[in-house]
A and B are shown apart, each in its own frame.
Chain A
Amino acid sequence: MTTTAALTVDVHDGIAVVTIDLPGEPVNKFSAAVIAEFDELMTQIEGNTAVQGVVLISGKPDGFIAGADIDAFLDFKSAADAESASAAGHRVVSRIERSRAPVVAAIHGACLGAGLETALACSYRIATDHPKTVLGLPETQLGLIPGAGGTQRLPKIVGLQVALDMILTAKNVRANKALQTGLVDEVVHPAILRDIAVRRAQALAAGTLRASRGKDPGFMRKLLEGNAAGRAIVFRQARSMTLRKSRGAYPALIAALDAVQAGFRETPEQGFATEAQLFGEMAATAVSRELIFLFFATASLKKDSGVQGEAPPPLAVNQLGVLGTGFMGAGIAAVAAMQGLPVRFKDMKHEQVAHGLAAVRAVLRERLTKKQITRQQFEDQLSLVSGTIEYTGFAHVPLVIEAVFEDVAVKHQVLAEIEKVLPPSAIFASNTSTIPIATIAEGSPRPERVIGMHFFSPVQKMPLLEVIVTPRTAPEVIATTVAFGRRLGKTVIVVNDSPGFFVNRILAPYINEAARMLDEGVAIEAIDRALLDFGFPVGPITLLDEVGLDIAGKSGAIMAKAFGSRLQPSESLGRVLAAGRLGRKSKKGFYLYDTSGRKGGVDESVYALFPATMRTELPQEDIQRRCALAMVNEAVRCLEENIVRAPRDGDVGAVFGIGFPPFRGGPFRYVDAIGAAEVVRRLVALDAAHPGRFTPCALLVKMAQDGQRFYPATGKPV
């Protein structure tokens, strides 16, 4: 074999240990070339009678096989292309399954997608009891279905219900859970993985160990899954739940169900053929194209230093200061502690600090309850957060994040106080969502070390971080902050300083438009339902209740002041706030809340605060267009004004910051999908009906004229 080969074989005492180690790649992944190598390898093994058994193991320190090479998906020109790629994979994986010399999968690290599908074809699976060892089928997250036999083999090994759960939720499973469900046959310490795998291969070859068929199903599973009628119930329930949750926007979920069902209804050959055919169909969908775009966009952001041109190396951040122990401060402290960082956690009064520590504990406690961390890790992480009301303990802190009250005077006071104790090289980051970073930086003699870190609430759950830079922010400060945000597990976009930054800026016209429809008499639930159907995770009116009318009002006023009538919120929202309807936090808003805070139906009494006296109906498409296009137009305007550096950042920001429908890729991808000319045509029509709010921005008009796109029509999007 050539030196660039991924597979090396080492034969000892009748056992061939096959090591997969893609040269020059951080993880192993399947491409056509690797599949061809496997094909060749199986031919060699079949022909070599000295080989009685095979062990498949990874040469990467912390990963087995991470899945298929997603770059290759971009080469599919049609559904037929993708289908034949899947069929080719099936042929080779089946050779592993039918191999004369039984194959043992020795799994350490991530075993995902095609990696797991290959392991499923092996006669025996051993996993290590290491936190990095996870198994899963994440294909549906990319709008695809498992295409290397996963939909056919997994249900036979772990049972129908467990298999559907794994495939439809794309959840990763840890080794111990995998052992419980029969996904793996044995769990061992990494140090003995190879030895035990060789021993099992020998036993399989000698006939003293039988090939694994998963765990004994047990009585209940047999009762439900062991017959066609029982399975029909499971499929019917899974189908209706999937449709309800996905609102029909994710066809791959249904395709995955179809493929699994085919495995029970058809012959094995037909089952595999159905899987390949559905894989092909899904690979050609727009949904999959957009989800794969998001995969590449976030991957490319992970490599982005945040600095244009030559980036200085980020400074080491070995501890963090957090000023302000409220909900945001506590969330930031908690995610930093999760990364093993000591946090100095300061506020003015002991009660505030104690309250903040309780909030940090609650965040970590949830991870413990969900068994994402051990009790020891919980204790360790909690003890990293050190509360204080003094400015002691900041003398060596390289980065401080303030999350104090949203008031320029307060921010300036805190900045003046902390600068007396911080080392001169320290970075001061503000978690403000409304105050320009340049204004905050005016309070510092070192404005080049002041930056914005706009986290979203709740910090531990929201994946996005906007890093806000001013023209004066030092490149080293940007690079350090971006790297630090990434270390906290966030997807980081760098945004230039401007009112509302990016995410809140594009949210403003969307919310405003919803409120104006309320003024016109459209029903609350009609607006929310329309945008849920468009693909947002919550409707705009529900979002107002969740964010709080006070916060939204404050932000709305700032937007109106900065951008004039285009972003002027409806006056009715002020009346709702004045009536004490703050939303969920006051258990009174647009919806009803019971005493425990559970949301009920629409609170009809809120309509009295709006000018319309009767409910009017508006076609769902009109509601969707008004809200979504107001947002899209504003997003493009942000690119035009250089608030975001690239369409990629705007799309990722909208999807991960607001929940812009992921299957639409983001506002810029949405423009590309329907065409700039069509977007402009729709905006012009809306502007005629609602003057001043929908004037298409100059960039859109120009792109419509020139027939331009934000992304290349083919090939790798970013």
Chain B
Amino acid sequence: MDISGTRRRVAIVAGVRTPFAKAGTDLRHISAIDLGKMAVSELVHRSGVDPAAIDLLVFGTVVPNVLAPNIAREVSLMSLFPKTIQSWSVSRACASANQAITDAADQIVLGQADIAIAGGAESLSNVPILHSRGFADALVAASKAKSLGQRLGALSKIRPRDLIPVTPAIAEPTTGESMGESAEKMAKVNHIARRDQDEFALASHMNAAAGTKDGRLTAEITAAYIPPRYEKTLTADNGVRSDTNIDLLSKLKPVFDRKYGSVTAGNSSPLTDGGAAVLLMSEERAKALGYKPVAYIRSYAYAGIDPGEQLLQAPVFAAPTALKRAGLTLKDIDLVEMHEAFAAQVLSNLQGFESQYWADRGGFARPMGAVDRSRLNVMGGSIAIGHPFGATGARITTTLMNELVRRDGHFGLMTVCAAGGLGFSMVLERA
């Protein structure tokens, strides 16, 4: 692809997120919509962008609220904004916020927008609990009944087992395999040792703890003042454990294969609540308004793989493609941010980047190469920080661009694996 500069460039001007909190903890009473509003409101205040100048808002979420399914519209209808900001929601599993960002960026590249907000939010404390088929059938029949007798007749068909609610599982609809089972399978197929997984998880916590302590990580977080009583204020991610160690991690029991497994709660990302957003502008508009962009989007790529094979391995196709579109090689990259669904997945992806086998399967002449681990997830990743599905992509984008500036780097690469066998990668160029 031509990147010689004839296209409009998309600048990322700012990024803000809520603290990420383990599901069922501090943010459990805040909906995904409100988490999204919290991040977007702070983004607007910090950046000083005029709400009336915003053209569009795209937001991602994975488990939508059935009563308010268009999260982007709900967020864009917040009282800070004019009601005229058009908006839409996207879903690409764990890469949903990335999808939101690339959707918005494409609109800017096409000249159909100049200022956009993109991000995502998830509340895994508030997943919809469904009624069983039998209960739902009876309720629908009762609502159509024309007399009290008919109504009672319909309701009388409910059996005790129908009253057991159905909780959606994080499982592949096609294979029935859960996310954890897929990671467990990848660990086995790629021979990822338990020790390596635990050490990777430990590094995630240590890097995140350091970033929290020295303020690099918290700089992109808005304090969450928690209504209705405002008794507690969450100012940092609550899953980061500065006090964990390899002994503690290695003592945890495998969750998905108790006998021969290696994937544990310690080396997986936890269910998390949070929201994140970035402010995008066309290069010209940013300059005209006096903004100093943090980074430009240099390229991106999505990829797919058979979910029944290695569900979370698609980044090995996406990343080389993004690099190729950027006209770069791994040697040009100063920083790498990879979404950590599981340590086993990151390590499998890293292995794949170096492998001729995966290069051949992706149609690349050579493997992408070995990622320098000292440049990888330098402020931790989803294992320590947490993973609100819809928000993670915007978190990684923000961290990558801010750290590029701090390290005086030039290019940054990010990857995100996603359910359904999907993968994403983007190259950022420091502005």
Contact = CB atoms under 8 A, between A and B. Distances in A.
Interface of A: 340, 342, 344, 350-351, 353-355, 357-358, 361, 380-384, 386-389, 392-393, 395-396
Contacts of B79: 340, 342, 380-381, 383-384
A131 to B, nearest CB: 16
Nearest to A423: B48
A353 B79 CA distance: 20
B398 to A, nearest CB: 15
B223 A351 contact: no
B45 A357 contact: no
Nearest to A342: B80
Contact of B227 (A342, A361, A384): A361
Given A354-B230, A355-B230, A361-B227, A384 B45 contact: no
Contacts of B46: 392-393
14 contacts: A342-B45, A344-B45, A350-B225, A350-B235, A351-B233, A361-B227, A361-B228, A361-B230, A383-B78, A384-B80, A388-B223, A389-B223, A393-B48, A396-B50
A383 B230 contact: no
Which 5 A-B pairs rank lowest in CB-CB distance, beginning with the nearest? A393-B45, A380-B79, A354-B230, A358-B230, A350-B233
A181 B252 CA distance: 68
A388 to B, nearest CB: 7
Interface string B52-89: 00000000000000000000000000111000000000
B230 to A, nearest CB: 4
Nearest to B78: A383
Contacts of B78: 380, 383
Nearest to A396: B48
A354 B225 contact: yes
Given A380-B79, A384-B79, A357 B230 contact: yes
Nearest to B51: A342
Contact of A386 (B42, B226, B230, B235): B42
Given A357-B227, A386-B41, 16 more contacts: A340-B79, A342-B79, A354-B225, A354-B226, A354-B232, A355-B230, A357-B230, A358-B229, A361-B230, A380-B78, A380-B79, A383-B37, A383-B41, A383-B78, A387-B225, A392-B46
A388 B223 CA distance: 7
Nearest to A355: B230
Nearest to A381: B79
A386 B223 contact: no
Nearest to A358: B230
A473 to B, nearest CB: 27
A361 B229 CA distance: 9
B2 interface: no
B231 interface: yes
B225 A357 contact: yes
B76 to A, nearest CB: 13
A594 B231 CA distance: 26
Interface string B18-30: 0000000000000
Nearest to A377: B79
A355 B225 CA distance: 9
Contact of A350 (B37, B41, B48, B223): B223
Interface in B319-368: none
B275 to A, nearest CB: 13
B80 A388 contact: no
Interface string B214-239: 00000000110111111111010000
Contacts of B80: 342, 383-384
Contacts of B233: 350-351, 353-354
B229 A386 contact: no
A360 to B, nearest CB: 10
Contacts of A386: 41-42, 45
B223 A387 contact: yes
A182 B293 CA distance: 62
Contacts of A380: 78-79
Nearest to B46: A392
A358 B230 CA distance: 6
A503 B229 CA distance: 35
Contacts of B226: 354
A340 B82 CA distance: 11
B281 to A, nearest CB: 16
A396 B51 CA distance: 12
Contacts of A387: 223, 225
Contacts of A384: 79-80
Nearest to B45: A393
Contacts of B50: 396
Nearest to B222: A388
Contacts of A344: 45
Nearest to A389: B223
Contacts of A381: 79
A198 B222 CA distance: 57
Contacts of B41: 383, 386
Contacts of A357: 225, 227, 230
B231 to A, nearest CB: 7
B216 to A, nearest CB: 15
A546 to B, nearest CB: 26
B37 A353 contact: no
Contacts of A388: 45, 222-223
Contacts of B228: 361
B231 A354 contact: yes
B223 A382 contact: no
Contacts of A383: 37, 41, 78-80
Nearest to B16: A392
Nearest to B52: A318
Contacts of A382: 227
A591 to B, nearest CB: 31
Contacts of B42: 386, 393
A492 B232 CA distance: 38
B223 A392 contact: no
Nearest to B228: A361
Contacts of B231: 354
A325 to B, nearest CB: 10
A600 B226 CA distance: 37
Contacts of A351: 233
A381 B48 CA distance: 20
Contacts of B229: 358
A542 B142 CA distance: 63
Nearest to B234: A350
B405 to A, nearest CB: 17
A344 B222 CA distance: 13
Nearest to B79: A380
B279 to A, nearest CB: 13
A541 to B, nearest CB: 36
Contacts of B37: 383
B227 A395 contact: no
A354 B234 CA distance: 11
A214 to B, nearest CB: 35
A393 B223 CA distance: 14
A386 B48 CA distance: 13
Contacts of B232: 354
A144 B229 CA distance: 46
A418 to B, nearest CB: 15
A327 to B, nearest CB: 15
A383 B30 CA distance: 13
A691 B73 CA distance: 72
Which of B37, B223, B235 has the largest count of A CB atoms less than 10 A from its CB? B223
Nearest to B231: A354
A354 B37 CA distance: 18
Contacts of A355: 230
Interface string B173-215: 0000000000000000000000000000000000000000000
A396 B226 CA distance: 26
Contacts of A389: 223
A387 B227 CA distance: 12
A350 B227 CA distance: 14
Nearest to A397: B48
Contacts of A395: 48
